[in-house]
Structure 1
């Protein structure tokens, strides 16, 4: 079962690698792959309660909260004034925050302060699969020198194969990455 430390199940990685799920190196590869994924998408992925963000108004009817799915919007302040849900704003699971009571959010930077909860209580399967694939690759690549030639030839290090990304990884990162104002 994935925990906050890992975005995939160590038992599944053990099956893929043939190593025990309690192997410290295996767990470190899983932790490193989890860190890489979180770094690439810009957020934790797991459920986060009461996260506070400051957003630009952009003069539009709707703004996007940076991380989806949105599980709750606890408060929205516009220039320090608390807005009431259903009167001043409404929100969707996909992270759309729509202005009510007038046409648009003001076109001002940093005018919105939102406290909301977001993320997944259970890690999405495609995220877990991408992290497992990366961790298995990291576990399979020997550390240190992978090849050495004589007579002035170069040395190749085994860790290079674990640094690249697959198409599967990149598509998953693109799907779950933090959203910016340009995505609206």
Structure 2
């Protein structure tokens, strides 16, 4: 059974958009599918995740980016197995910036950092919700099975082909919220 956390937009909004009840099983399937596609495109859950543990590469710089923002808390940072102290050894920002204090740089070594942090959105941003609603509405409009058929030239077109491709709105939301890499810093 799906929960509200499975959806990146409100079922009631999609129901209003499509003129269907918010609990319509097909409507919910399309919304869950569009939400899953968005999560797959950005590479993370989007909604709030508490105390995720990750390993990071040092970059030889003063600051590095945590892969998912917004950052809501940093529970711990270990450098080569040694627990660092917030405010003395590092500081962090809502945008996911992890800055080294006390010495000038993070080491330039692979997997030397272990960070436990919380990230994501308690309330899904409007750009994500709108992109997911648009995708779910498009999916609902696609006929299942054959969309067109030509007998003389033996041409068959299936409705699922219309689902390929994304809107500019979708791509902008994905680009804004995707996992960040060290090259993004």
**Normalised TM-score (structure 1):** 0.97
1:117 paired residue number: 118
| Aligned pairs, number | 183
Q: Report the counterpart of residue 43 of structure 2 in structure 1.
A: 42
Structure 2 equivalent of residue 126 of structure 1: 127
Deviation (angstroms), 1:101: 1.0
What is the rounded CA distance, in whole Å, between the counterparts of 2:103 and 2:13 in structure 1?
51
- Unpaired runs of 5+ residues, structure 1, are none
Counterpart position of 1:19? 20
**Which residue pairs with 2:141 in the alignment?**
140
Could you say what the CA RMSD is over the residues aligned between the two structures, in angstroms? Answer: 1.0
How far does residue 160 in structure 1 lie from its aligned partner after superposition?
A: 1.4
- How high is the TM-score relative to the length of structure 2? 0.97
Shift of 1:153: 2.6
Find the counterpart in structure 2 of residue 9 from structure 1.
10
What secondary structure does 1:155 align onto? strand
What's the offset of the Cα at 1:154? 1.6
User: How many angstroms does 1:15 deviate by?
Assistant: 0.7
Gaps of 5+ in 2: none
Counterpart in 2 of 1:169? 170
1:63 aligned residue: 64
2:26 paired with 1:28: no
Moved more, 118-127 or 148-157: 148-157
**TM-superposed deviation, 1:151:** 2.0
Runs of 4+ aligned residues of structure 1 deviating over 6 Å after TM superposition are none
1:104 Cα offset (Å): 0.1
